[in-house]
């Protein structure tokens, strides 16, 4: 497979994954582009991998977690508190938007772990492998993230309590 074929086949999926990680489409573009430039430079090596897209996904996670990028791009978002309750038939949509806003405020590692679990459907060992940490740490990221988002998860809350 040529690099161009790889990009054509996987770029959209990588962009969606990066968008989920970054909670920001523009940042996702930057992340994917930076990663693909490096993939391009190393394609002669990577093309021999059984699943290069898995390696590239890991590169995207690493790029997302890189501290300097976080320093430069992390955007704090203020709590927006409506003045009063307004009945809205689009309440479900609003709830999701609120959840997305809270998700964007999570520490990057927690958000990454949640994305790998709930978007990529990876198990703890696979999440740990992608994030370069121990499975226990991955579980802790997930538990803390779920707790911060107030998502019901008995196992996650137990982990928090253990800490």
Partner 1 sequence: MRTEDDLRAAFAALADTAPSPADMLPPLSRAERGKPRRRRTAPVLATAAAVAAIGVAVPLAVVRTHPQPSASPPARQPGCSMAAADFVFFRVDPVPGADLGGSRGVSCLSRGAYLYNATGGLLGALQVWRPGVFDPTEVRRGRPAAIAGHRGYIGTYTVPAGQPPLGRPVPWTGAVAWEYAPDAWATISAELAHPLSLPLALKVAAAVHAEDPAPLRVPLRLSYLPAGLAPTNIGASPPDMNTTFGAAADFGFTRNANGGCGDPQRCGPPLEVVAQYTGETSLRGAPGRQIRIGGHGGRLVPVVTPDRAGRDHPAPGIPPQVWVQVGHWRITVSVNVNATDLGLTTDDLIRIAAGATPAASQTDRSTWFDARAALP
The 39-78 contact track toward partner 1, x by CB under 8 A, reads -xxxxxx-----------------x-xxxxxxxxxxxxxx
For 36-84, the DSSP string reads: HHHHHHTHHHHTTSS-HHHHHHHHHHHHHH-HHHHHHH---------SS
CB atoms inside a 10 Å sphere around CB 128: 20
Contact track, partner 1, 13-32, x by CB under 8 A: --xxxxxx--x-xx-xxx-x
Query: Measured from the CB atom, is 152 or 161 closer to partner 1?
Result: 152
Task: Name, in order, each residue with C-beta under 8 angstroms of 61's C-beta and a sequence gap of 6 or more.
Answer: 21, 112, 116, 130, 131
Smallest distance, partner 1 to C-beta of residue 84, A: 14
Please report whether residue 5 would count as binding partner 1 according to CB under 8 A: no
Binding site for partner 1 (CB under 8 A): 4, 7, 11-12, 15-20, 23, 25-26, 28-30, 32-34, 36-38, 40-45, 63, 65-79, 81, 95-96, 99-100, 103, 105, 107-109, 114-115, 118-119, 146, 149-153
């Amino acid at each position: 497979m040529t690099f161009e074929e790889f990009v054509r086949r996987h770029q959209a999926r990588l962009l969606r994954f990066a968008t989920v990680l970054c909670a920001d489409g523009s940042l996702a573009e930057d992340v994917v582009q930076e990663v693909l430039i490096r993939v391009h430079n190393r394609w002669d090596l990577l093309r021999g991998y059984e699943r290069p897209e898995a390696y590239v996904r890991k590169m995207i996670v690493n790029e997302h977690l890189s501290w300097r990028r976080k320093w430069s791009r992390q955007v704090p978002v203020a709590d927006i508190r409506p003045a009063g309750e307004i009945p809205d038939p689009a309440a479900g949509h609003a709830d999701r938007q609120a959840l997305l806003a809270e998700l964007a405020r999570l520490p990057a590692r927690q958000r990454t772990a949640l994305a790998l679990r709930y978007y990529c459907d990876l198990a703890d060992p696979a999440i740990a492998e992608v994030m370069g940490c121990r499975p226990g740490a991955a579980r802790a990221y997930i538990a803390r993230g779920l707790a911060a988002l107030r998502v019901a998860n008995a196992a996650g809350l137990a982990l928090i309590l253990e800490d």
